[in-house]
Chain A
Amino acid sequence: MINDAAVLTEKLDRIYKIRGPRRKDDPRELVALDGVNLEIKRGELFGLLGPNGAGKTTLIKILSTLLLPTRGRVVVDGFDVVKDFGEIRRRISMVSGGETSGYGLLTVEENLWMFARFYGLDSAVALRRINDLLHLLGIGDRKRTKISDLSTGLRQKMNFVRGFICDPGVIFLDEPTLGLDVTAARDVRAFVKNWMLEHPERTILLTTHYMAEADELCDRLAIIDNGKVLACDTPHNLKRRLQREAVFKLKVGPIGPKPCKEEMLESVPGVRQVSIVEHSSGTELSLILEREEVLSGVLTHLGRRGSKLISLEKREPTLEDVFIDLVGRGLNVDTSRRGKETP
């Protein structure tokens, strides 16, 4: 034991070598994590929020002992991921979104029993826990179904049972609601919340790019982009950062070619951040302004471009606004190809 935090990273870097299509091509380097410092306390439900390619999954792979850091120190449940990975594996578990693990010819119960045995559980204990957890997730009647016959939602619920069956001290949930419908995602979130209530000493690290999910579940959040942690605090405190600013949502008519839209609006004095989403019916603008009065300048500017105002809403800052403020763009922008590459 070298630290009491559930997860601790210090100056963590991870660089991938990307091979070219031909063997003789020199590999390129892709910086996936760049000086990440994080401390997650025991009993926390901690969120990592970031777009695709931000480095969330890489961080989870390092914490779950699948990947070594290139530089820096990483400690999970008091043990170093490089030296003491065996001890860490006894204490952790992981569930990923869109997971297709298991053997299609086995039933749900058989698959789960197999994984439980990998954690050293007694058969009787394993079967009892499988039964209890399947019922908790509302799929108790699917125990004898072959997993090749499960729908995406049911399969992900089974994956959750697999993740929690060994009663881990720290569990990593990597985009766990990815691809789930509203009901299944709600069931899964409810399960996570209840589990934390019943096991207050356990720790969950959740990665997601769903803002509402992060806001609803997490005690604290880190916003990560291009491998760097940009902010780390409670959702409430993160939103408070924007309380002095004015946050508006506008729907307007066409405002000209896309490449210059954001720059055009950001050139208006007092505009801090602009995020633009195009719809068939018009353009939706999320604006963070230094003060309310700046809005008239924005509207004048839009008017000069021939764009008409369709609707206007002033609202409380959300995590999305925080994200836009920190990152400079919305979450629906894929940055997976935007890592800092060096030749």
Chain B
Amino acid sequence: MNDTGIYKAKGFQLFWRTAWARAYPRIVGTFRERSWLFFETLLPVLGTAAYVFVYRAINAPPDYTGFVVVGGAMIAFWLNILWNMASQLYWDKDMGNLELYIISPGPVMAILMGMAIGGLVMSGTRALIILTVSTFLFGVTYQTGSLPLLGAVFLVTMAALYGMGMMFASLFLVSGREAWHISNLLQEPVYLVSGFYFPVKAIGFWGAAAASLIPLTLGLDAIRQLLFTGDPTLGFLPVGMELGILAVLAVIFINGARLALARLEEIGRREGRLIERRR
């Protein structure tokens, strides 16, 4: 009970209430506005198919079809990070939601966490559909390794990836249209350097090492290694090492988001950027 007579949660309880409340519109939006089904499953399947046929045109081994299918499914998460996490606060500022988020006692970090949870549900649904449909269409066969390890790699990759998304979102808290441009910059170039359509070791050790800052690089590489055990030369690093690096990245990005948020909120308040609407 507080001084206004109604019980209002604090601390951890407030954090989770805020996070789930923000996740709610995303989850409801996913199932209420179903026109996304057309775009966000058919389109990535078409894109994936185009790269499958390129491999066929140059007579690539059949495993490459599987690499493309898995990469094509994981793109759903990257797009979600760019357009529904990082630049979402730009839309929220535009709609007038951001200032209400800021003045509410619910931590902005919890708002970001809610966006991440909702985003994960949204893109997880999409990724699963893309993977299932493409696997069926192109007759991909998997030779899977340890499934618990696969699950662990996926979860840690998502923690690191959405941690990164939260950090981006906090950086975009004070930005205007720049957010848009940065998201654009990070779309196709990351498809390239993270190896969405080919094993990442193809871009060389140092290239792949630098690209490993993006959690999907190592996550995707580890997932491919665990799904296609028939090709032992496929991986960039051993799965265990990739999992360890991803865990470190998750900690760095989530803490980075927290620190960046505090700092940028202060800058935003000082410079008036939390309330400006530039169109």
Contact = CB atoms under 8 A, between A and B. Distances in A.
B259 interface: no
Interface string A84-115: 01100111111010011111011000100111
Interface in B1-38: 2-10, 13-14, 17-18, 20-22, 24-25, 28-29, 32-33
A121 interface: yes
B119 interface: no
A105 B33 contact: yes
Interface stretch (B93-101, B123-131, B230-238): B93-101
A118 B101 CA distance: 8
Nearest to B102: A66
A202 B269 CA distance: 26
A117 interface: yes
B181 interface: no
Contact of B10 (A17, A96, A120, A202): A120
Nearest to B19: A117
Contact of B25 (A64, A67, A105, A119): A105
Interface residues of B, number: 41
B18 A166 contact: no
Classify the secondary structure of B's interface with A: helix
A61 interface: yes
Nearest to B18: A118
B279 to A, nearest CB: 13
Contact of B275 (A61, A102, A113, A120): A61
A10 interface: no
Contact of B29 (A85, A105, A162): A105
A5 interface: no
Contacts of B204: none
Contacts of A16: 272
A169 B22 contact: no
B44 to A, nearest CB: 22
Contact of B104 (A89, A113, A169): A89
Contacts of B71: none
A100 B2 contact: no
A168 B103 CA distance: 12
B208 interface: no
Contact of A65 (B4, B7, B103, B272): B103
Contacts of A169: 3-4
Contacts of A166: 4, 6, 8
Contact of B8 (A65, A115, A119): A119
B21 to A, nearest CB: 3
Contacts of A129: 6
Interface of A: 16-17, 61, 64-68, 85-86, 89-94, 96, 99-103, 105-106, 110, 113-122, 125, 129, 162, 166-169, 202
Interface of B: 2-10, 13-14, 17-18, 20-22, 24-25, 28-29, 32-33, 95-97, 99-106, 111, 266, 269-272, 274-275
Which 4 pairs across A and B sit closest by C-beta, in order of nearness?
Answer: A120-B9, A117-B21, A118-B106, A118-B104
